[in-house]
Each structure stands twice: as structure tokens, then as C-alpha cells.
């Protein structure tokens, strides 16, 4: 199977009535950012928030594109990494936006990966009781997942993304050329979210990924770039459709958390550090979800192994033993799972599977079964 070649950017609409917006996907789109922003909000000013790494590669081009369209800008640069999703950085961004005299008719631009998108979106939801913002995702993970759907948040000492708001952007510009500067590890971690969409609801897409994942990784200006853009567009369409049906995550949208209950617990146990990137945690969490589903006899063991084998083939962790350093204990992980934002009346919610592309929400998981399963996995060498 091959991806269809595209000459024009792909546009995916997130259909939310008068809050609908477009996700534009293609190579070289930064050059058109100013014109797109000016068309949406004529005469608006923009505050750009990014991190040190992204600023070095892309901030000048973004500022030039906005200036070329007559959009006045200010900037704020924060340290890279999950540690910036904190109260301290949130406060700094809010104060910087206010100091820049960004009014309700102006907007904020989140230029970066998932950390920047989550953090800036949350600040935009709070300053002046709500500002418009534009997502310009610079990582694969952000382009296919975190920039879409309006879930914004910072982390708590008790867990990941526990403090935040639903606040939709007015535009997402996913320039695939920005991925050329992404370190291999970051790209691989983002691929976990691509695989997630296939594993939770699209068996045909999973088969396509098995055959074409190396082209998705190759990308760039070669013909493989079509495969990369195809994978991003399919992922965005899947998320956009789910968000349109369940914006506030009261039902179907919970499926997008496949792998996240286990994964977030490991992330929190490691202090949201570079030791375990979010996408790596999701990959390990999905492998555990498939393994746990097989343990519960919900899915044939061979099909669970097929999913796990693909994640391992691209170089993602699929078990606790694949994570370097000392592992957390089962008590610590169970405490963190109990703090997961999907917990209902003290009962953890898991996304389990009956097959590849057949995920479902399970509220009645026995904690003893989870503990036993995790204990076994933590003991593997």
C-alpha cells in the first residue's frame, strides 16, 4: 500500500459549530501563517510563546511570516521540556501576555510541541477570561494529537495534566517541514500517537502503518513525505471526528487515552523527565493495555503480540524493562493510577481492546488484577 501523493495542503475540519476550526497539513506552511492569521482576525496582535529549542530553529521564520502580513508580535521563550508545564511557568506566560497588552480581540500563538501547546492553550483560556489562540505544532506528537481538540493543562505533583481547561484553538497549522529538525527520539515518540489511532479504531490504517512506517520516518522532501503527510492527516481526521462527537470527554473521546492510564503513571513516577518522553510512555502503556486485555481474554494473545511487535519494531518501549534505570514499585504506580483524571468514584478507568482497531472504555477493572499484572511486568528481566 502507498500513500496518495498530494500537491496541496490537506485540510481537516474540527466541526464544533461556531467554534469550528481547520487543521492545515502540508510542507512549507509557515510562510502562509501570517496571511491565515490576518484573514481570521484582521488587525489583531499576536503573542508568540515557544521554547528555547524551537526558537532557535523556527521563531525567526514565524515572526517574519506574521510581520509580512502586518501582524504585530511579541514573544516569550520558556525552557524546553515537561518541567515547563508548571504553575510557575503558567504564571510567567500569563503575566507576559498581559504585559504585551494582548486584548480579547488579539491572539496567542503556541509554537512548539505538546508541552507548549498544553501550557499556552491553558494560559489563553485564563487570561482576560479567554483569548483566541493558534496552534503551530513543531513535533509529530503535537501535529497528530495534542494540538487538536482543545485539551489544555499543566501538571500537578499528583499527576499529569490534572490542572487545565477545555479551550479550542481557532486554527492549527501543521507544517511537516518543521519535523525535519526533530531529533530521532522525539519523532519516534510522536509516532506512538499515530499508532494509537490505528490501534484504537482503524485496523486498516494499522496494516498500512505496518507496511509503510519506514516511509513515515523517512519523510522530508522525498516521495516518502507523502506517506508522512498521509499518516498525519489520517490521525487528525480520526481525532477531529471523535472530538466533534464528544468534545468534553464524557464518552467516546476517552478512547483517545489508550495506553495513557499506564503511561501517565510511569511518567509521573519518573518526575515528568526526559528519562521517559510522553510518547514513549504511551507506547509502553499501549503495550501494557494490549497485554492486560489478553490476560483478561478479551483479545487473542497473537493479536496483542502483533500490536506490541509493531511498536517494538520502530524502537519504542513496550515493557517496563525497556525503560532505563530503577523502576518504580507497584505501590507507587497503583497510587498514581488512582489519581488519574479518568477515575470515577475511586474506580480507575482503562481503555482496553477486543482486537486491533477495537478499543473500548472499561470502568469496572479490578484493582487486584491490575496490581497482579503490573507486579509481573515489573519483575520481567
What pLDDT sits at residue 139?
97
Q: Note whether 207 and 343 are same-domain residues.
A: no
Please list the pLDDT of the chain residue by residue as tens digits (381 residues): 444 545 579 999 999 999 999 999 999 999 999 999 999 999 999 999 999 999 999 999 999 999 999 999 999 999 999 999 999 999 999 999 999 999 999 999 999 999 999 999 999 999 999 999 999 999 999 999 999 999 999 999 888 899 999 999 999 999 999 999 899 999 999 999 999 999 999 999 999 999 999 999 997 666 557 999 999 999 999 999 999 999 999 899 999 999 999 999 999 899 888 899 999 999 999 999 999 999 999 999 999 999 999 999 999 999 999 998 889 999 999 999 988 766 665 677 899 999 999 999 998 889 999 999 999 999 998
**Angle between the N-to-C axes of helices 278-295 and 184-201, in degrees from 0 to 180, rounded to the nearest 10:** 30
Residue 29 and residue 78 in contact, taking contact as beta carbons nearer than 8 Å: no
Number of domains within the chain: 2
**150-162 burial, b if ≥16 CB within 10 A, otherwise e?**
bbbbbbbeebbbb
239: annotated active-site residue: yes
Q: Note whether 222 and 104 are same-domain residues.
A: yes
275: annotated active-site residue: no
Residue 130 and residue 94 in contact, taking contact as beta carbons nearer than 8 Å: no
Whether pTM exceeds 0.85: yes
Q: Annotated catalytic residue: which of 228, 237, 260, 310?
A: 260
What pLDDT sits at residue 177?
95
What pLDDT sits at residue 2?
44
Q: Which of 203, 218, 250 is the last residue of a domain?
A: 250
What pLDDT sits at residue 331?
97
Q: Annotated catalytic residue: which of 63, 82, 186, 193?
A: 193
167: annotated active-site residue: no
Q: Which of 183, 215, 250 is the last residue of a domain?
A: 250
Q: Is the dihedral of CA 293, 157, 121, 110 positive or negative?
A: negative
Q: Annotated catalytic residue: which of 160, 264, 310, 342?
A: 264
* DSSP secondary structure string for all residues of 38-59: HHHSTT--EEEEEEHHHIIIII
129: annotated active-site residue: yes
| Structural domain span for residue 168 | 1-250
161: annotated active-site residue: no
CATH number for position 96: 3.40.50.1970
**Closest alpha carbon to 291 in 188, 204, 378:** 378
**325-347 burial, b if ≥16 CB within 10 A, otherwise e?**
eebbebeebbbbbebbbbeeeee
249: annotated active-site residue: yes
> Roughly how many angstroms between the first and final C-alpha of the chain, as a whole number?
37
186: annotated active-site residue: no
Q: Which of 250, 282, 310 is the last residue of a domain?
A: 250
Amino acid at each position: 500500500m502507498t500513500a496518495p501523493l498530494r500537491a496541496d495542503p490537506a485540510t481537516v475540519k474540527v466541526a464544533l459549530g461556531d467554534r469550528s476550526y481547520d487543521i492545515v497539513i502540508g510542507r512549507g506552511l509557515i510562510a502562509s501563517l501570517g496571511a491565515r492569521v490576518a484573514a481570521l482576525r484582521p488587525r489583531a496582535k499576536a503573542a508568540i510563546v515557544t521554547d528555547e529549542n524551537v526558537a532557535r530553529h523556527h521563531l525567526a521564520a514565524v515572526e517574519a511570516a506574521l510581520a509580512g502580513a502586518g501582524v504585530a508580535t511579541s514573544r516569550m521563550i520558556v525552557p524546553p521540556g515537561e518541567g515547563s508545564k508548571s504553575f510557575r511557568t503558567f504564571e510567567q506566560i500569563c503575566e507576559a501576555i498581559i504585559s504585551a497588552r494582548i486584548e480579547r480581540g488579539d491572539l496567542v500563538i503556541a509554537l512548539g510541541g505538546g508541552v507548549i501547546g498544553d501550557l499556552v492553550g491553558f494560559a489563553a483560556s485564563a487570561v482576560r477570561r479567554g483569548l483566541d489562540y493558534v496552534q503551530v505544532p513543531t513535533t509529530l506528537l503535537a501535529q497528530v494529537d495534542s494540538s487538536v481538540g482543545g485539551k489544555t493543562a499543566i501538571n500537578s505533583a499528583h499527576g499529569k495534566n490534572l490542572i487545565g481547561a477545555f479551550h479550542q484553538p481557532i486554527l492549527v497549522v501543521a507544517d511537516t517541514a518543521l519535523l525535519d529538525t526533530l531529533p530521532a527520539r522525539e519523532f519516534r515518540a510522536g509516532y506512538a500517537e499515530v499508532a494509537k489511532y490505528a490501534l484504537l479504531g482503524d485496523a486498516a490504517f494499522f496494516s498500512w502503518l505496518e507496511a509503510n512506517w519506514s516511509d513515515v520516518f523517512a519523510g522530508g522532501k522525498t516521495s516518502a513525505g507523502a506517506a508522512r503527510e498521509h499518516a498525519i492527516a489520517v490521525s487528525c481526521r480520526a481525532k477531529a471526528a471523535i472530538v466533534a462527537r464528544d468534545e468534553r470527554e464524557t464518552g467516546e473521546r476517552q478512547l483517545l487515552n489508550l495506553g495513557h492510564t499506564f503511561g501517565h503513571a510511569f511518567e509521573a513516577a519518573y518526575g515528568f523527565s526526559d528519562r521517559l518522553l510522553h510518547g514513549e510512555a504511551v507506547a509502553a502503556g499501549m503495550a501494557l493495555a494490549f497485554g492486560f486485555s489478553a490476560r483478561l481474554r478479551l483479545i487473542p494473545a497473537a493479536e496483542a503480540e502483533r500490536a506490541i511487535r509493531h511498536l517494538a519494531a520502530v524502537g519504542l518501549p513496550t515493557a517496563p524493562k525497556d525503560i532505563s534505570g530503577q523502576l518504580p514499585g507497584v505501590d507507587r504506580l497503583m497510587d498514581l493510577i488512582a489519581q488519574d483524571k479518568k477515575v470515577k468514584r475511586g474506580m480507575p478507568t482503562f481503555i482496553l481492546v477486543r482486537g486491533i482497531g477495537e478499543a473500548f472504555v472499561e470502568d469496572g477493572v479490578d484493582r487486584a488484577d491490575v496490581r497482579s499484572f503490573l507486579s509481573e511486568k515489573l519483575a520481567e528481566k
